[in-house]
Amino acid sequence: MSQRKSTSRKKPVNQRKSKSHRRRGPPKAAYAAALLMVIVLLASAWWGWRQARETLDSPEDPFARQVELPPEPDPIARVEVLNGAGEPGAAQQAAEILRGAGFDVVYFGNASDFDNPRTRVIARVGSGGRADSVAGWLRVDRLESDVDPTMHLDATIVLGADWRRRFRLVADATKAELELQR
């Protein structure tokens, strides 16, 4: 018998390429991504160092230009509201309007009588000052004075029969002023 020679030659087992042999390390894209991350990290570290150095080298306080303090608030008038008009709930409604305008309403209730034709403002710590601002805000012509330091109030507002019209005028003027500021 004759031996046939095979046309295809088989390679020895140790010379065959297997799938695991084809990749000998991480792909080039992984190296590029790692290099890019290192560059970004170094750039951000450099930027932070530069900003810190500029802040330390500057003669002005870094917090002084970042934080602006609000202006000092005007003193708030402490008032009480008394219903002298005889209309149920008038003192509470007026107190809500006054609180919305920034006044400190410490009490609201009924006056000793309900026959007041006009709204009155009574100064409790002497004439002028915060009581004047309350009278001006309500557009009351005359400021009365009945000093009583034990009340711890700036003014007492006694609502009269004209209180709705007076508060409506103030509310309309406030709205108009707000629109002008916009």
pLDDT tens-digit profile of 118-169? 999 999 887 667 888 888 888 888 889 888 888 889 999 999 999 988 888 7
Rounded to 5 degrees, φ, ψ at 57 are -80, -20
Contact 122, 145 (CB under 8 A): yes
pTM of the predicted structure, to 2 decimals: 0.55
Mean pLDDT value across the chain: 78
The pLDDT of residue 67 = 46
Residue range 78-181, CATH number: 3.30.70
Contacts of residue 116, defined as CB under 8 A and 6 or more positions apart, other chains included, come to: 84, 85, 158, 159, 160, 161
Q: What angle do CA 117, 119, 120 make, to 5 degrees?
A: 115
pLDDT band at 60 (very low <50, low <70, confident <90, very high): low
Q: Which residue has the higher pLDDT, 36 or 27?
A: 36
Whether the per-residue pLDDT at 13 is higher than 80: the answer is no
Across 19-27, average pLDDT: 62
Whether the per-residue pLDDT at 8 is higher than 80: the answer is no
Nearest to 160 by CA among 118, 132, 130: 118
Contact 136, 101 (CB under 8 A): no
Across 42-67, average pLDDT: 67
81, containing H or E segment: strand 78-83
Per DSSP bridges, beta strands 120-123 and 155-159 are antiparallel
**Helices marked H in the chain:** 19-22, 28-57, 90-100, 130-138, 163-181
Contacts of residue 97, defined as CB under 8 A and 6 or more positions apart, other chains included, come to: 167, 170, 171
Contacts of residue 127, defined as CB under 8 A and 6 or more positions apart, other chains included, come to: 143, 145
